[in-house]
A and B are shown apart, each in its own frame.
Chain A
Amino acid sequence: MADGRDEDFAEFVLARTPALLRFAYLVTGDAHLAEDLTQEALVRAHRKWSSIVGDNGPEPYVRKIIMRQYLSWRRLGSSTEIPVAAVPDGPARQGDGSDVVERDALWTMLASLTRMQRAVVVLRYYEDLADEEIAQLLGVRRATVRVHAFHALATLRAALAAAPTQEARA
């Protein structure tokens, strides 16, 4: 890659990686998987940089790759990592932990959705994309997006009704 294009790419990665990771993390619910998917999408973008820098910029391409990987992902093993020492059991401590338990109720419920439903939820309610844009990103029809959104909200509403005390404190 020529120096100028490489600088453009580096600038894009440095500027947009945090946003791409937030997007990937909300879609997957897994920090390491989010890093894997984002890294892979950026590697592919790096290779095709000249052809994807169009009027809309490279970001839609990168997000599309993240989404498609996520929707087709089965199980990424740990073969891409070098574990060098025992990882401590349990999650990191943040405060006394009680705040995490309370605010995680709806987050946990999100995990019960199908991947397509979860993707639609994140794109609609975090990225604030219109259904038409979501449909383009996911490669489906707009009506399909609306169906997924409807079922996702119905599932979450039912789950919240079943566990009102937990989420009410969130």
Chain B
Amino acid sequence: MSDSSAVETRLRAMLERHAGDAPTGAGMLTAVRHVSRRRARRRRVAVAGLLAVMVCATSGLGVAFWWPPVGPGPAEPAASATTVALIAGPTTITVPFTLPPPDGYLGPLVTIVAGRPVLTFTSEKYASLGAITVTLVADLAEVPPAARSGDSTRRDWTEAGGDEVERLWWLPLDGQWLRVASPARYPEAALTRFRSGLTRVPMRLPAPMLFDLVPEGFVLDNLDVDRATFCPPGVQPGTATAGKLVVTWAKPRPADRPANGQSMVEGPTTAGGLTTVTITSDAGTTSVQVPAEVPLSAGDLLRFAAGVHH
């Protein structure tokens, strides 16, 4: 065999071996649809905005987007070094581990609670039992000493939770801990197989709420399908909302749906030390609330709110 063909043969074999290391693409369809919808919405907003400007410039007619010129809206702060800038927002959440779904379950769906990811696996087969959740523990004190000192991957104990009994497991992860909560009636052997699938390979998952733009330097510490909070610099992550930028989302009531598929903007308005803007479209109603002292301009607040979607 010549040198060239020997190298070619080894190349083929090596590429075949390493192809097996490629990511599996779990969640790709969901992620693609999310991003695609976001871009479509961005295009629609851009076109609507352009049309609004053109209509205003040429005829002075009213348009679907409206911006309160005076009154309760905050004055646009002068640009300064302290003004918060907007940067491109995230589309995925990276968790520092991989856990394939338990037998009979789908997912995971990922949320963020007090700065920590929570994975939720749901099941039609075991719908009567409930979901299995995996939480990256924030505080070592939350991990029982028995779990910390012994074989921590074994079942630790059960605890009552209404009519159901929940089973808790504690899994070590390089100095951190995962808390696995499962229905007690879920087969123990299946749960054992589930926890044995834990690896330290980071896993990217679609975010339940998407942001085209986010304030630079703000930390996203809570995220779910209908609510998110961002901590301005100096504010500690946690479940509280005080001092934070808060985003809420809800499906619009039929009566609230804007005509002609356009979006309606209310605000920004300031009251009680909070500045609020609300955007209603066919897709949903997004409200953004931020402490008035946060140096986010009214224009940027509107741009941020317009970029929130699912």
- Contacts A79-B90, A103-B17, A126-B16 given: A13-B32 contact, CB under 8 Å? yes
| B112 with A25: CB separation less than 8 A | no
Query: B116 is contacted by which of A13, A79, A85, A153 (Cβ under 8 Å)?
Result: A85
B88's nearest neighbour on chain A, judged by CB, is: A79
Query: With a CB–CB cut-off of 8 A, which chain B residues contact A34?
Result: 22-23
Query: B11 is contacted by which of A32, A38, A125 (Cβ under 8 Å)?
Result: A125
| B200 with A93: CB separation less than 8 A | yes
Interface of B is mostly: mixed
| A153 with B4: CB separation less than 8 A | yes
Query: With a CB–CB cut-off of 8 A, which chain B residues contact A122?
Result: 15
| A157 with B3: CB separation less than 8 A | yes
Query: With a CB–CB cut-off of 8 A, which chain A residues contact B115?
Result: 84-85
Query: With a CB–CB cut-off of 8 A, which chain A residues contact B57?
Result: none
- Contacts A21-B23, A38-B28, A86-B96 given: A92-B200 contact, CB under 8 Å? yes
Query: Would you call A56 an interface residue if the criterion is a C-beta within 8 Å of the partner chain's C-beta atoms?
Result: no
A168's nearest neighbour on chain B, judged by CB, is: B10
CB distance from B88 to the nearest CB of A (A): 5
Query: Would you call B159 an interface residue if the criterion is a C-beta within 8 Å of the partner chain's C-beta atoms?
Result: no
**Most chain-A Cβ atoms within 10 A of its Cβ — which of B23, B40, B136, B174?**
B23
Count the A-B residue pairs with Cβ separation under 8 angstroms: how many?
A: 143
| A81 with B90: CB separation less than 8 A | yes
B4's nearest neighbour on chain A, judged by CB, is: A153
Query: Would you call B204 an interface residue if the criterion is a C-beta within 8 Å of the partner chain's C-beta atoms?
Result: yes
| B17 with A125: CB separation less than 8 A | no
Query: With a CB–CB cut-off of 8 A, which chain B residues contact A107?
Result: 14, 18
A42's nearest neighbour on chain B, judged by CB, is: B32
| B8 with A85: CB separation less than 8 A | no
| B25 with A82: CB separation less than 8 A | no
Size bracket of the A interface: 35 or more
| A21 with B22: CB separation less than 8 A | yes
Query: With a CB–CB cut-off of 8 A, which chain A residues contact B19?
Result: 22, 25-26, 126
**When chains A and B are docked, how far (Å) is the Cα of A26 from the Cα of B79?**
47
Query: With a CB–CB cut-off of 8 A, which chain B residues contact A46?
Result: 32-33, 36
| B136 with A85: CB separation less than 8 A | yes
**When chains A and B are docked, how far (Å) is the Cα of A133 from the Cα of B228?**
48
Query: Would you call B158 an interface residue if the criterion is a C-beta within 8 Å of the partner chain's C-beta atoms?
Result: no
B9's nearest neighbour on chain A, judged by CB, is: A125
Query: Would you call B91 an interface residue if the criterion is a C-beta within 8 Å of the partner chain's C-beta atoms?
Result: yes
**When chains A and B are docked, how far (Å) is the Cα of A141 from the Cα of B12?**
24
A18's nearest neighbour on chain B, judged by CB, is: B25
Query: With a CB–CB cut-off of 8 A, which chain A residues contact B223?
Result: 82
| A82 with B200: CB separation less than 8 A | no
- Contacts A22-B22, A25-B22 given: A84-B39 contact, CB under 8 Å? no
Query: Would you call A143 an interface residue if the criterion is a C-beta within 8 Å of the partner chain's C-beta atoms?
Result: no
Query: Would you call A31 an interface residue if the criterion is a C-beta within 8 Å of the partner chain's C-beta atoms?
Result: yes
| B interface footprint on A9-39 (CB within 8 Å = 1, 0 otherwise) | 0100110011011101110000110110011
**When chains A and B are docked, how far (Å) is the Cα of A135 from the Cα of B197?**
42
| B22 with A82: CB separation less than 8 A | no
Query: A156 is contacted by which of B7, B21, B31, B117 (Cβ under 8 Å)?
Result: B7
Query: Would you call A4 an interface residue if the criterion is a C-beta within 8 Å of the partner chain's C-beta atoms?
Result: no
CB distance from B94 to the nearest CB of A (A): 5
Query: Would you call B83 an interface residue if the criterion is a C-beta within 8 Å of the partner chain's C-beta atoms?
Result: no
CB distance from A38 to the nearest CB of B (A): 7
Query: Would you call A2 an interface residue if the criterion is a C-beta within 8 Å of the partner chain's C-beta atoms?
Result: no
Query: With a CB–CB cut-off of 8 A, which chain A residues contact B16?
Result: 126
| B200 with A79: CB separation less than 8 A | no
**When chains A and B are docked, how far (Å) is the Cα of A14 from the Cα of B29?**
7
Query: With a CB–CB cut-off of 8 A, which chain B residues contact A43?
Result: 32, 35-36, 39
**Most chain-A Cβ atoms within 10 A of its Cβ — which of B21, B39, B40?**
B21
- 10 CB-based A-B contacts, threshold 8 Å: A26-B18, A79-B88, A82-B207, A82-B220, A84-B136, A85-B136, A86-B176, A125-B15, A153-B4, A157-B7
The 5 closest A-B pairs by CB, nearest first: A25-B22, A17-B25, A82-B90, A126-B15, A22-B22
New contact pairs (4) apart from A18-B25, A22-B22, A81-B90, CB-CB < 8 Å = A87-B96, A103-B14, A121-B15, A170-B14
